[in-house]
Structure 1
Amino acid sequence: MKDIINLEKQTIYLKINLYKLLSLYIENNLEVMMLFAVRYRNIGLKIAYYRKKKGYTQAKLAEQIGMSAAYLGQIERGNRGNSFSLETLYQIADALEIEVELLMKDEMF
């Protein structure tokens, strides 16, 4: 009987520790996801800024690089925190005739 009680205590202890670890993982993961969402949003704002500075509409820029205006709009709005390819970023920078680093650096304009 004592063995069963000890086993139950160990099970409860393991479940508590697993819950704590899972909570920490989720908390840290959310922080990372939010950080990337902010970065994607900043990149999108910069794309919109340089696009407008160049006098392009979303449709015109999207056509130049072979993507839909809707997708370009998503990118400019931060793409809901979802990633987009580095190739896409280079295509946008090339079409806007700017260095890709202008879009990627942390400082705003």
Structure 2
Amino acid sequence: MEKVDYAGLGRRIRYFRKRRGLTQEELANLVELTQKHISNIECAHSIPTLQTFVKISNCLQVPPDLLLGDSLAFSYPGRAEEVASLIRSCSRRQLAEVEQYIFYILQK
């Protein structure tokens, strides 16, 4: 059984929360939690429920698999071509953001 990297999950939640310009308090209000609970998730002191994880993913507008990072041990067939197709359809601004996300992921 694969283990979830909760510290990595927390770091990615913090990173994307800040990229969206949200404070812990603002994200907490959006997902109906306390600021302390968001802090605990980001520091890996608390494990989010699946419902909380989905709410956070939706509020941050980040796909769940991106938040999970290396915790997923499989990839979808044809995923690279699907991603390449999405990248080709990006505006310049979106492409710059995609590039930043890729650099972030590669820094781990």
TM-score interval for Structure 1 and Structure 2 normalised by the shorter chain: 0.5 to 0.7
Q: Is the CA contact (8 Å cut-off) linking 2:25 and 2:34 kept in structure 1?
A: yes
Following the alignment from structure 2 to structure 1, what is the Cα–Cα distance between the partners of residues 53 and 26?
A: 16
Report what 1:64 is aligned to.
Answer: 30
Following the alignment from structure 1 to structure 2, what is the Cα–Cα distance between the partners of residues 75 and 83?
A: 6
Question: SS of the counterpart of 2:40?
Answer: helix
Cα deviation digits, residues 5-60 of structure 1 (max 9, x gap): xxxxxxxxxxxxxxxxxxxxxxxxxxx9xx65xx1110000000000000000000
1:47 to 13, 23, 26: 13
Report what 1:95 is aligned to.
Answer: 59
Unaligned runs of 5+ in 1: 1-31
Following the alignment from structure 2 to structure 1, what is the Cα–Cα distance between the partners of residues 24 and 48?
A: 17
Letter in 1 for 2:31: I
Q: What are the equivalent positions in structure 2 for 1:1-109 lying under 5 Å apart?
A: 36=4, 39-79=5-45, 82-106=46-70, 109=105
Letter in 1 for 2:47: S
Unaligned runs of 5+ in 2: 72-103
Following the alignment from structure 1 to structure 2, what is the Cα–Cα distance between the partners of residues 100 and 56?
A: 18
The alignment's C-alpha RMSD in Å is 2.0
Letter in 1 for 2:63: E
The structure with the greater share of residues assigned to helix is 1
Following the alignment from structure 2 to structure 1, what is the Cα–Cα distance between the partners of residues 47 and 11?
A: 15
TM-score, normalization by structure 1: 0.60
Which structure has the larger Rg over C-alpha atoms?
A: 1
Identity of aligned residues (%): 28
The runs of at least 4 aligned residues of structure 1 exceeding 6 Å deviation read none
